[in-house]
Amino acid sequence: MGFYVNPPDESKESFLKREGIAAPNTPRITWDSVPQGYLPVVLLDNGHFSAAAIAYDKSELNEATSLDDPRPRQIFMVKIEKLIPVADPDFKNYAERNSLI
């Protein structure tokens, strides 16, 4: 995974609960089910910490939702414009290059 949500003034969990729309873990979501203007963010429980990975393309979504990965996860659909201020600046560059914003 290449881009992560890291809000400066709140937890990843509170940001995702406020700005995201919870998506089901089963059945497994597909790239075609992602609404236009949104990206899936996968909140992964790594035990001692959580990670909120932005699934910015089909292969990233497949990796983040792999059934071979036993870690607990929750998926949120988040408007791309809401992700820009809480992700690494490289994500904004990626979004611009790929006409996501």
Instruction: Quick: pLDDT tens for 54-92.
Output: 999 999 998 888 878 888 899 999 999 999 999 988 999
Number of domains forming the structure of the chain:
1
pLDDT higher for 40 or 66?
40
Res 1 pLDDT > 80: no
Whether 6 maps to a domain, the answer reads no
Q: Are 65 and 27 in contact (CB under 8 A)?
A: no
| Largest separation between any pair of C-alpha atoms in the chain | 36
Tell me the pLDDT tens digit for each residue of 11-32: 999 999 999 999 987 777 889 9
| pTM of the shown model | 0.91
Domain, as residue range, for 26: 12-97
pLDDT at 13 (0 to 100): 95
Q: Per the domain annotation, does 29 fall within a domain?
A: yes
Structure-token pair, residue 70 = 């036993």
